[in-house]
Structure 1
Amino acid sequence: MSSWLTNRWYVAGWDSEIDSAPLARTICGVPMLFYRKLDRTPVAMRDACPHRLLPLSMGLREGDSIRCKYHGLKIGPDGRAEEMPLRTEAVNRSICVPTYPVAERHRFVWIWIGNAALADPALIPDLWPCSAPGWTFDGGTYHVACDYRLMIDNLMDLTHETYVHAGSIGQPEILDAPIETRVEGDEVHVSRWMPGIDAPPFWRTALKQPGPVDRWQICRFLLPSAVMIDVGVAPVEAGATPDRHDQGARGMVIDFMTPESETSHHYFWGMARNFDVNDAGFTARMKRQQGGVFAEDKVILEAQQRSIETNPGLRLSAYRIDEGGVRARQLIARALRAEEMAA
């Protein structure tokens, strides 16, 4: 059994990544081809010609269809053959390529890799800050050579920021703040409140004023593999609280980990924010800086994956700081068991 759920929506790519040109990307062990039709509707199908299995992503776009670059078999956006290699030969409509349900929401193109009859767009994780009025959102993508659950562990335990991200968002006070972890249905929440501290470099720039601040980090895991992190700082005199904190500079870190294989995944990251929303230059600079922060995580997690593989007799340990990641893994495992029983 794989480590990921199948009857769920996963991010296939940013809305800007998937265009008219074929894009190849392996999702949950399945090689996929993505492109947009002339009306800009996204298409997802298995990336293998049913004739000689050449990747269709190497093919040629013709209208809304794609022609295999080996022998010229033409496949429509519904996955059905439209033209045979010998054009005098009658089209065999039984020749087909598996296609997959897709949807667009929150700046992402989503794909459903399980039973297509269950692909309800209402089940797409609610990444609300990506689309909410008064917020702006942008980000990027990394291919990370590690189990997608290691990234979930990382995002649900921000203690590592003190050491991994010391030059940007990390600070010693993170280690001193108490952590509250709770499970609510199919979600895990980890909260950390840091009152009356000095802001780290990134947040001092965002706040644009000196003085002590109240800082918060509220991590929220959603099945199958999303993590939203409510982060920010507010001047102490603003009176922010763990339940009400829009007074200063507030952002929502958006993370979606789409499995590629058991030891690799596509990491879609970004930040939505409700301050300076019309400053395109600041958005670009923040994206570049955030990309640098997550690149530091990539180095750590890929090294961790290699160490796991070279130490097969050892197992990961869990301490108090790991409770959020442990609870998230438990939710994934429980959902996998339910999915297996239903199948």
Structure 2
Amino acid sequence: MSTWVTNAWYVAGWDSEVDHQPLARTICGVPIMLYRKLDRQVVAMRDACPHRLLPLSMGIREGDSIRCKYHGLKLGPDGVAEEMPLKTDRVNTRVCAETYVVAEKHRFVWLWVGDKARADEALIPDLWPCSTPGWTFDGGYYHVAADYRLMIDNLMDLTHETHVHSGSIGQPELMEAPLQTRVEGDRAYVARWMPGVDAPPFWRGALKQPGPVDRWQICEFLAPSSVMIDVGVAPVGAGATLESHDQGVRGMVVDCMTPESDGTMHYFWGMARSFDQDDPGFTARFKRAQGGVFLEDKEILEAQQRAIALNPDLKLNAYNIDEGGTRARQIIRRLIAAEAARA
């Protein structure tokens, strides 16, 4: 059985990544080529020429079409042949490459790898801070040699910050604060409230004032493979609560994990924030700092994936701190099973 849901939207790239030149990216085991037409609409096509299977992403753009670099077969943006390798041959329109449904939302290009008839843009995960006035959003991309579910486990269990990210966002209080976990449909939540603590270096710099703070973390898993984490700090006495916390500095970590294969993934990370929105320099520094934090996660998860491969007789164990990731995995398994039953 597959380790991912097929009839679902996955991030194929940032809106800025997909341009005139073809971009190659394997998604859920399928090699895909993406590019923008002259009107900037995105094309997603199987990255294999229907003639000799050379990757079409190596091809030559001609207007909105793509010409294979091997023998010159020319395909339109609908994947249908427009010219045969021999110009004297009549065009066979039955020669075509498979195309896929795409959509643009929340600064991302989304791809539906399953049944085209079931592709509904209303099913795109609701990454609301990425598109809401009063918030600014940016981020980056890493290829990670690890199962995408390991990153979901990581993001739904933030106690690892104490040790993995001790120099930026980690602090001992993360290991002491009680966890609140719940499931609502295809979403899982883990919440943590830390009153009267010292702000870690990153948040102290964002708050720009001394003194103890109330800190919160609310992780939300959105099927099939996205996690948003509501994070921030407020001065003690400002009135912030776990339910309402716009009194200090608030951000929303946005992470989308797209499976590439059973042991690799595309990791799209970023943060939306509702403070210092008009400071592009801070945005760039913020992105650089966040990228460094996620590189630490990348190192840990790739080592974990290697250890899993080297220890086939052992299995992952789940403790109390792992409940959020466990709930997320249960949702994924349920959706996969329902998909298999429907098929």
TM-score bucket (shorter structure): over 0.9
Deviation of 1:96 (Å): 0.5
- CA offsets per residue over residues 145-190 of structure 1, 9 Å max, x none? 0000000000000000000000000000101100000001110000
| Equivalence for 1:155 | 155
- CA offsets per residue over residues 230-262 of structure 1, 9 Å max, x none? 000000121100110000000000000000000
For 1:75 and 1:259, the matched residues in 2 are separated by 28
| Equivalence for 2:117 | 117
For 2:242 and 2:316, the matched residues in 1 are separated by 32
Please say if 1:15 is aligned against 2:31.
no
| Equivalence for 1:185 | 185
For 1:318 and 1:53, the matched residues in 2 are separated by 44
For 2:187 and 2:70, the matched residues in 1 are separated by 47
Letter in 1 for 2:224: P
Deviation of 1:27 (Å): 0.2
For 1:174 and 1:50, the matched residues in 2 are separated by 53
Aligned sequence identity (%): 76
Q: Could you list the structure 1 runs, at least 4 aligned residues long, displaced by more than 2 angstroms after superposition.
A: none
Letter in 1 for 2:53: L
- Stretches of structure 2 that go unaligned for 5 or more consecutive residues are none
For 1:218 and 1:257, the matched residues in 2 are separated by 18
Deviation of 1:56 (Å): 0.3
| Equivalence for 1:277 | 277
| Equivalence for 2:214 | 214
Deviation of 1:2 (Å): 1.3
Correspondence 1:39-118 to 2 at 5 A: 39-118=39-118
TM-score under structure 1 length normalisation? 1.00
For 1:303 and 1:2, the matched residues in 2 are separated by 23
For 1:244 and 1:217, the matched residues in 2 are separated by 12
For 2:98 and 2:72, the matched residues in 1 are separated by 18
TM-score under structure 2 length normalisation? 1.00
For 1:303 and 1:293, the matched residues in 2 are separated by 16
Deviation of 1:120 (Å): 0.7
Deviation of 1:211 (Å): 0.5
Please say if 1:242 is aligned against 2:242.
yes
- CA offsets per residue over residues 51-96 of structure 1, 9 Å max, x none? 0000000000000000000000000000000000011111000001
Deviation of 1:278 (Å): 0.7
Over the aligned positions, Cα root-mean-square deviation in angstroms equals 0.4
| Equivalence for 1:340 | 340
For 1:231 and 1:204, the matched residues in 2 are separated by 13
- CA offsets per residue over residues 278-322 of structure 1, 9 Å max, x none? 100000000000000000000000000000000000000000000
Letter in 2 for 1:29: G
Correspondence 1:125-136 to 2 at 5 A: 125-136=125-136
Please say if 1:141 is aligned against 2:138.
no
- Stretches of structure 1 that go unaligned for 5 or more consecutive residues are none
For 1:131 and 1:208, the matched residues in 2 are separated by 26
| Equivalence for 1:330 | 330
For 2:243 and 2:337, the matched residues in 1 are separated by 34
Letter in 2 for 1:104: E
| Equivalence for 1:232 | 232
Please say if 1:303 is aligned against 2:303.
yes
